[in-house]
Every structure is written in C-alpha cells, then in structure tokens.
C-alpha cells in the first residue's frame, strides 16, 4: 500500500478504538483536502509533507480528542502553507473548525527567540486563541511534539533554539493542562537537543543500572504488597525510573549524581477508592518511617491542573529514601491525560464542572491588559506557567495556590491590587511576619494593610507571582514617571536660563504642542519625561527649538559637553561600536556584568541619566528590577564579534584525578582562551567550580559548553549569571 494511505489507515484504527462512531466522512474529507494540497511538499527529512499532519492527528487521537480537533490536526498547516484560504475551510467544514484553524494559523509562525517583541505578540495571540477555545493549544502541543520527535534532522542551531523554547514554554504549558505524558515527552526531547551530552550521559547511566534497578523494584513491590495484603488491601503496585529531565533537574538542584539507584525511582499504588488511598498510606507509615515534610495530600487539595494523589517519602529497608504515590484509577487517568481526560469527545466540549478549572488562564489574560511592555509580559507568563506548589488558606478557609517561595505580598496581590499596594505585613497562623516571609503549605494568612503604605522597588525581590510583579512595577513606574517629569522640567528650565530665555513663557505658547510635535514628541509632558529619563538632552532640544543658538554654541565650546564626549569615547572592548542604539547617539554603552551578553544573545538596553546605556540579556534576572520606561531598543552591530568577551561557566563534576587537565585541554583545543579555572572538591567526592573563558560570540560558547559536557566525569556545565 502507498505509505501515505497506510499511515492514514493506522490513524483510523487508533481512532476507532476509542471513538468508533466518529464522523468518518468528515475526517476523510479533511484528509483528502490536506493530501491534495500538500502534495509535492516535502519535510526536511525528504518524506511527503502529509505525514506530518497525520502524525499530529495521531497524537491528538492519543489524547482521545473529538471530531473537530482531529480534523484540525489534518488541516492545521493548510492555510499557512498552501493556496487554501480560511474561507474555503469554513465553507467545507463549518465555523468551529475554521476558527480553530485560524487560531493555529495565527500562532503557527511563532518564533519565540527571534525578537522578544514578536515573541510576546505571538504568545499573546496564543493565549487569546486558547481562552476562546482550549483545543487550539492542544493541537499546537501535538504539532510541537511531532516537530520535536523529528528534530534530529534539523541544523544544530535550530535544534538548540527549538528545544530551549520547548523547555521554556510548551512543556510547562502541557504541565499546566495536566497532560503529564506529553509534558514528560517534551521535557525529555527538549533535554536531548538542548543539552545533548547531558542527555546521553543520563541515558547511559539509567541503562547501565537497569537489571539492578529491576531487582530493587521487585523486592520493594513485594514487600509493600505483602504488608498491605495483611490488612486486606491489594492495590496495583508499580515502580519505575523517573524521566530523564527530572533526573537531570534533581542532579542539578542537589548537586549530586546518581550512584544510588533508589534516588531515581518512584513507586505508585492504584487503589479502588479514595478511602483505600489513606488506608494504604497509614499502613505504609506504620512500618516504614516517613521523612518529615515530604507528605503531600493532593487529594484533599488538588493541584490546579486537576492532579490528585497522596505523596509520601519514607525510609526504605536499606536506609534509602523511598517515594510512594497513592491514587485511584480515575485520578491516574486525570494525572496522565489532564484536561483531555475531562474532554467530552462526543460533544466536543469540556465537562461543565471542569470548565472553571482554567481560571488561571483568564487571570493571566486579565493581568496582561495592564502590561504594556512585551518583555515584561513574557516574563510574567513564564513565571505563571510554572505550576504552583504551595497551598495556603484565607481567614475564611478558602484554599489559594502559589509558587514556591511566595510571600504575604503575593497573597495580598492575589486578593486585590489595593490590598497588595497597602500591605504592611501579615499574620501567618496568628503570628506577625514581615513582608518577605516565605509562605508554607497549610499556612493561614491574614493580611495587614495601612493607608499610608505604598509599594517600592525592593518589593520586586520578595514576590514570585507574575501578577504581583506586574502590579508593583506598574506602581513604581508611574511614580518614577512623575519624578522624571519634575527632573526634566528642572533641567530644561536651567538650559533656557543659560540662554537667557524663559521656560514659563515658552510653556504659555499657543503652538507649544506643534513645536514639540516637530521634535517628534506626542506632547510637552512626554518631552519633559524624555529629558528626565536621560533619553534626550536639554541642550539638543534647545538647539532644535531655537536654531539661531547653533552659531553661538559653535563659537563658545561648552566644557560640559566635552566631558560627555570623552565619556562616550571610552569604548571598553568595543562596547560602543558593538551595539546599535535606536535614536540615540554619542552615548556611553556598557555590557552589563550580571549577565555578560554575547553577540548572538537577545539583548535589551536601559538608559540612565549620566550613566549611559547598560545592555542586558533579555532573560537576565536583574531586568525585573529595572524600569521599562528606561528601556531602549538595542542591537548587535556587525563589528560586535571582533572582540573577545569574558564569560563565566559553572561546572559540577566528580572529583577525579586529571579532570581539570582534561577540561582545560578540551577548551584550549577549541581555540577558546581560559582566563581562570577554580574548582573545589566538596564532601561527597563531587567538585564544583567556575571557569572563565573568552569567546567571540554565543555560537562559540555553545560549542564550548557541549564539548565540556562530553568529558567523562562532568555532571553539568552552565553559563553563570550574577
């Protein structure tokens, strides 16, 4: 049989298993259209393009989706890539399917790393489309999953970029929707292409210990089974290695490598009902000692992606830590399929009672309306995408969820902006605490406010939620704008006087708006603010307003102006010529030390009066504390790569003889200069340290990191931030 037909037949077989009475003729029609119009198009691998939509639809069938979504899976690239129009789709398949395809077309060209403006815009579109119909994002996730599965064929640069984007956005999104099998696959594929050497190493280690691990799983399962049986319980018990990405995260966060096979195994019990979950837990705790602080009751307090289970960690028979989850069959399905488990595929909609489970999505969209800066928006969305793991109570006993590390301020802002702005502290379980106190699960929080209180910049360091960050920033920004206006008027006034002119008189001019418009400011206020922030100099404004001053200025050189020029010509390592700044010239440029941007990194500039422009990476943590009013658009210039730049790498490795020699040799062989190398052993025969290298651009750094990862004994290498 023709390979395309065969592919489609297999898809139909998969669908028939869960949805035998689907509208087969509509599905056939979608396939025929897609096959006809994609004919002749090839994927990068050389195979016919139509295999991609079929594969995407097959992933949607794994999610047990409805007719419309499956058709959209087949049609999703048509409007983007062929002569088919949205109207054609509407005529042939109706409004719903057309709308879904439209939503996907709008976001299909998402290229998150191209520029942060575009990234934010595309992401906003995705959220909007998703809020209208969550199926859009399910198709998008299926699309991304298939693209990740076939990423091996792409260029190295593309692999790293797509993989990082998958880890940053799509895997957390899958997690937020509760589809854990998809999240796991996206994370593992993401790791495989973002950190290929790390991935290979973990895979090798996991494979090596396989038989040992299976023996251990068998022993523990039997032990648990026998004990529970004494009490008349017979849950299904399984044990398995965690997925690669979570092993990687665990190794990274705890600075360890896994020699102990137990560290990477989790056990699961599937019980008949909820009561049995708690019963099993009690029995386990009665013969294996629980580790304090590790028990979590996600049955009483489900996660916001609907996940339910009991989690506990006990001391196992060999003194090892042993992780066990208890859940019912139904909870298990929700844990695997998330939102898809609650999808009424026959009616093509979500259960009534589950529809409001996606409150966070609406909240995210509401929050973004107050955010005019796209970079801040993306930052806040990324914060909010990561699942919450703290559950706290309001005085009335309602449960609210927060990310780890949240403080009373996050809590206060989640209630209302005004409560946040006026928050002076909180009572946690009846005891007074400070604003930066970290909340713990089960805490009961009562916010204390005062009319005299107002937010300040430091608060940004205390909060974890995107919402609180946005609200504080909004307040601080508007206050700083007011200040900038006052400073700007003061500076302008002085410059007027220096030329024996009167600013108050100028302000009374009837055509003042016209005059400032000519200088390309929307109004007089904007002009003052621009001076106040240091984006415009009063000298230049005056010269433009009164061209006759030009000649006088030429005859008497201003000493102050000269200092400025000197400053600007102090061009550290070509910082100035490396960066192009829109609309401003002759200004001091610094590549900031906190994130040490390299040519190839996405960057953003911040201007401050008298100190020029500092350039940061768009993902630099310090940006959250900077005022986006001061943001200026900056780009790398062609000459940026002529200079060697310093970068710090953090290295975690085994304390093995010769490893440092090996390391410096590998780096030198790449032609990369090592400035310093500083590695210290710690107590667990691991070593941790930093290495300072000099490179011309990001590409060279990425190659260097990959080569280091390859070295036997290296656990992880990370570009260090401040």
Q: Which is nearer to Mn ion, 144 or 630 (CB)?
A: 144
Q: How far is the CB of 52 from Mn ion (least distance, A)?
A: 6
Three-class DSSP category at 437:
coil
Alpha-carbon distance of 400 to 394, in angstroms, equals 7
DSSP label at residue 621: G
Q: Which is nearer to Mn ion, 40 or 547 (CB)?
A: 40
C-alpha torsion sign, points 155, 161, 162, 163? positive
Q: How many CB atoms lie within 10 A of CB 178?
A: 25
Q: How far is the CB of 56 from Mn ion (least distance, A)?
A: 6
Of the ranges 74-82, 554-562, 575-583, 697-705, which one interacts with Mn ion (CB under 5 A)?
74-82
**Could you give the C-alpha distances from 222 to 227, 229, 236, 287, in angstroms and in order?**
9, 10, 11, 14
Helix (H) or strand (E) holding 559: helix 559-569
Q: Give the distance, in angstroms, between the CA of residue 420 and the centroid of all CA atoms in the same chain.
A: 25
**Could you give the C-alpha distances from 437 to 158, 278, 411, 433, 476, in angstroms and in order?**
42, 32, 11, 6, 22
DSSP label at residue 275: H
Q: Which is nearer to Mn ion, 77 or 367 (CB)?
A: 77
Q: How far is the CB of 137 from Mn ion (least distance, A)?
A: 14
Residue among 80, 482, 558, 718 flagged as catalytic: 80
Q: Which of 133, 143, 379, 602 binds Mn ion (CB under 5 A)?
A: 143
Q: How far is the CB of 4 from Mn ion (least distance, A)?
A: 16
Q: Which residues contact 506 (CB under 8 A, 6 or more apart)?
A: 496, 512, 545
Alpha-carbon distance of 385 to 191, in angstroms, equals 19
Our finding on whether 297 is near Mn ion (CB under 5 A) is no
Q: Where are the alpha helices (DSSP H) in 50-111?
A: 51-62, 67-75, 78-81, 86-93, 95-108
Of the ranges 139-147, 228-236, 437-445, 556-564, which one interacts with Mn ion (CB under 5 A)?
139-147
Of the ranges 64-72, 123-131, 137-145, 677-685, which one interacts with Mn ion (CB under 5 A)?
137-145
Q: Which is nearer to Mn ion, 37 or 199 (CB)?
A: 37
Q: How far is the CB of 268 from Mn ion (least distance, A)?
A: 34
Q: Which is nearer to Mn ion, 77 or 627 (CB)?
A: 77
Alpha-carbon distance of 708 to 195, in angstroms, equals 11
Of the ranges 138-146, 247-255, 284-292, 604-612, which one interacts with Mn ion (CB under 5 A)?
138-146
- One symbol per residue from 220 to 259: x for binding Mn ion (CB under 5 A), - otherwise; what is it? ----------------------------------------
The DSSP line for 318-365 is TS-EEEEEEEEHHHHHHHHHGGGGGEETTTTEE-HHHHGGGHHHHHHH
Q: Which of residues 75-114 bind Mn ion (CB under 5 A)?
A: 77
Burial of 291 (0-12, 13-18, 19+ CB in 10 A): middle
| For the chain, counts of helices (H) and of strands (E) | 33, 22
Q: How far is the CB of 116 from Mn ion (least distance, A)?
A: 24
Q: Which is nearer to Mn ion, 109 or 562 (CB)?
A: 109
Residue 147, by phi and psi: left (phi above 0), alpha (psi -120 to 50) or beta?
A: alpha
Of the ranges 40-48, 72-80, 458-466, 625-633, which one interacts with Mn ion (CB under 5 A)?
72-80
Q: How far is the CB of 349 from Mn ion (least distance, A)?
A: 24
Q: Which is nearer to Mn ion, 101 or 447 (CB)?
A: 101
Number of residue whose CB is nearest Mn ion: 143
| 493 catalytic residue (yes or no) | no
Q: How far is the CB of 89 from Mn ion (least distance, A)?
A: 15
Q: Which is nearer to Mn ion, 38 or 192 (CB)?
A: 38
Three-class DSSP category at 239:
strand
Residue among 23, 47, 62, 81 flagged as catalytic: 81
Q: Give the distance, in angstroms, between the CA of residue 570 and the centroid of all CA atoms in the same chain.
A: 37
C-beta of residue 247 within 8 angstroms of C-beta of residue 264: yes
Size of residue set near Mn ion by CB under 5 A: 2
| 81 catalytic residue (yes or no) | yes
Helix (H) or strand (E) holding 307: none
- One symbol per residue from 397 to 436: x for binding Mn ion (CB under 5 A), - otherwise; what is it? ----------------------------------------
**Catalytic site residues?**
80-81
Site of interaction with Mn ion (CB under 5 A):
77, 143
């Amino acid at each position: 049989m023709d390979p395309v037909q065969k592919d489609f037949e297999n898809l139909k077989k998969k669908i028939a298993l869960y949805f035998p009475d689907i509208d087969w003729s509509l599905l056939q029609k979608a396939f025929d259209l897609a096959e006809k119009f994609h004919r002749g198009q090839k994927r990068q691998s050389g195979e016919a393009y139509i295999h991609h939509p079929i594969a995407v639809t097959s992933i949607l069938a794994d999610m047990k989706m409805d007719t419309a979504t499956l058709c959209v899976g087949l049609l999703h690239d048509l409007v983007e890539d062929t002569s088919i129009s949205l109207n054609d789709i509407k005529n042939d398949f109706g409004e719903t399917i057309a709308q879904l395809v439209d939503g996907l077309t709008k976001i299909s060209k998402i290229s998150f790393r191209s520029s942060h403006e575009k990234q934010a815009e595309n992401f906003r579109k995705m959220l909007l489309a998703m809020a209208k119909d969550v199926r859009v994002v399910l198709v998008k996730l299926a699309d991304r999953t298939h693209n990740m599965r076939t990423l091996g064929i792409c260029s190295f640069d593309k692999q790293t970029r797509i993989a990082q984007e998958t880890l940053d956005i799509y895997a957390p999104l899958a997690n937020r929707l509760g589809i854990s099998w998809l999240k796991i696959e996206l994370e593992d594929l993401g790791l495989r292409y973002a950190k290929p050497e790390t991935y290979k190493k973990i895979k090798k280690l996991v494979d090596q210990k396989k038989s040992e691990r299976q023996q251990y799983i068998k022993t523990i399962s039997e032990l648990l089974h026998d004990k529970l049986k004494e009490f008349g319980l017979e849950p299904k018990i399984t044990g398995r290695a965690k997925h690669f990405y979570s092993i990687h995260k665990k190794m990274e966060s705890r600075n360890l490598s896994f020699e102990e096979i137990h560290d990477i195994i989790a056990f699961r019990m599937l019980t008949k009902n909820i009561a049995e979950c708690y019963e099993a837990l009690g029995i386990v705790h009665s013969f294996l000692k629980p580790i304090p602080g590790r028990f979590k009751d996600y049955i009483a307090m489900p996660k916001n992606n609907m996940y339910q289970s009991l989690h506990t960690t006990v001391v196992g028979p060999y003194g090892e830590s042993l992780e066990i989850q208890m859940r019912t069959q139904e909870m298990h399905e929700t844990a695997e399929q998330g939102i898809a488990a609650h999808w009424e595929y026959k009616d093509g909609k979500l259960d009534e009672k589950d529809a409001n489970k996606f409150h966070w999505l609406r909240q995210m969209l509401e929050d973004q309306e107050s955010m005019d800066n796209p970079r801040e928006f993306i930052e806040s969305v990324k914060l909010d995408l990561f699942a919450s793991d703290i559950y706290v109570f309001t005085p009335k006993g309602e449960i609210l969820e927060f990310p780890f590390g949240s403080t009373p301020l996050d809590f206060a802002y989640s209630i209302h902006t005004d409560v946040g702005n006026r928050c002076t502290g909180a009572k946690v379980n009846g005891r007074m605490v400070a604003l930066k106190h970290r909340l713990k699960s089960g805490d009961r929080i009562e916010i204390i406010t005062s009319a005299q209180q107002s937010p300040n910049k430091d608060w940004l360091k205390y909060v974890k939620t995107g919402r609180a960050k946005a609200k504080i920033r909004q307040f601080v920004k508007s206050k700083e704008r007011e200040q900038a206006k006052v400073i700007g008027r003061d500076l302008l006034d002085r410059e007027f006087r220096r030329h024996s002119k009167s600013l108050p008189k100028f302000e009374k001019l009837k055509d003042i708006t016209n005059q400032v418009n000519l200088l390309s400011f929307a109004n007089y206020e904007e002009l003052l603010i621009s001076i106040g922030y240091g984006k415009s100099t009063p000298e230049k404004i005056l010269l433009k307003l009164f061209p006759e001053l030009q000649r006088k200025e030429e005859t008497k050189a201003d000493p102050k102006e000269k200092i400025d020029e000197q400053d600007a010509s102090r061009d550290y390592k070509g910082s100035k010529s490396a960066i192009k700044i829109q609309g401003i010239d002759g200004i001091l440029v610094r590549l900031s030390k906190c994130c040490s941007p390299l040519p190839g990194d996405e960057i953003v500039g911040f201007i401050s009066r008298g100190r020029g422009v500092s350039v940061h990476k768009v993902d630099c943590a310090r940006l959250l504390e900077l005022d986006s009013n001061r943001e200026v658009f900056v780009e790398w210039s062609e000459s940026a790569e002529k200079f060697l730049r310093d970068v710090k790498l953090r290295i975690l490795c085994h304390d093995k003889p010769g490893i440092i020699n090996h390391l410096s040799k590998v780096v030198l062989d790449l032609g990369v200069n090592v400035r310093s190398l500083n590695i210290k052993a710690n107590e667990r025969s691991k070593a941790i340290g930093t290495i300072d290298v000099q490179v011309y651009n990001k590409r060279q750094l990425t190659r260097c990191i990959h080569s280091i990862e390859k070295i036997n004994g290296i656990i992880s290498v990370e570009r260090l931030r401040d």
